[in-house]
Amino acid sequence: MQRRQPGSPILPASLIPVVAMSVGLGVLALIYLTASQPLITWRASLANQTRNLRLSLQEAPGVRSRHSVLKSQLDGLLTRVEDVTKRMPNEPRDDEFLADLSRIAREKGVQLEDFRRGTVSQDKTHSSLNVMVTARANHAGLCGLIDAVQRLPRLAELNEMQITGAAQGETYPVLLQYTLYYAAVTNDTAATPAPVPARRG
């Protein structure tokens, strides 16, 4: 056993648990650095570090609560990402989108006039294809079509809508631009490049 140096302060047994906890936080190093100072300074330093430690312990429930809230938000975000990913096919499938759009247009009384493929974009997380649709519709029919497209199993985002001419009766010409998302990059597909559709229209 190492001989105790004369003049070293004796730590009361009741403070041993506090000092043990302080070792992990670097408090013990501060104690050794101040051991050569007057006893009153050393004890004041120990009291200050102990007080800070107790404050940290008192705040621990709040930290755990904030961590729980953030974890819940993260879980919700991951669930949302998973849901969106499931709505992105592996290929553009714009022909299927046109078929769905034509069916919805008939149901809502909208007259489709043209469907054109636009630019293709490839991102680190997905690919996308822009399509442009010209149609003639009244207000109720157009709103019904937009709402129905939004509810399709595949993800199609309406980026732009323009009225391109004068109304004829209750109908007017409109231009709709959609972005079709596909080829979501996951851990299983990261090494597989997304297919690029042929330019037609």
Q: Where are the domains of the chain?
A: 14-84, 94-182
The neighbour count for residue 104, using CB atoms within 10 Å, is 20
Query: What pLDDT score does 76 carry?
Result: 74
Q: Decide which of 3.90.1170.30, 3.90.1150.10, 3.30.70.60, 3.40.50.1360 is the CATH code for 94-182.
A: 3.30.70.60
What CA dihedral angle connects 91, 96, 97 and 102, to 10 degrees? 170
- Please name the residues in contact with 22: beta carbons below 8 A apart, sequence gap of 6 or more: 28, 31, 49, 50, 53
Tell me, yes or no, if the pTM score tops 0.85.
Answer: no
Q: CA 193, CA 185: separation in Å to the nearest integer?
A: 9
Which portions of the chain are predicted below pLDDT 70? 1-63, 66-67, 186-201
- Please name the residues in contact with 137: beta carbons below 8 A apart, sequence gap of 6 or more: 108, 109, 110, 111, 145, 171, 172, 174
Query: What pLDDT score does 125 carry?
Result: 86
Q: CA 32, CA 19: separation in Å to the nearest integer?
A: 12
Query: What pLDDT score does 96 carry?
Result: 96
State the residue for tokens 């043990």: 20
Element holding 160 (H helix, E strand): strand 156-163
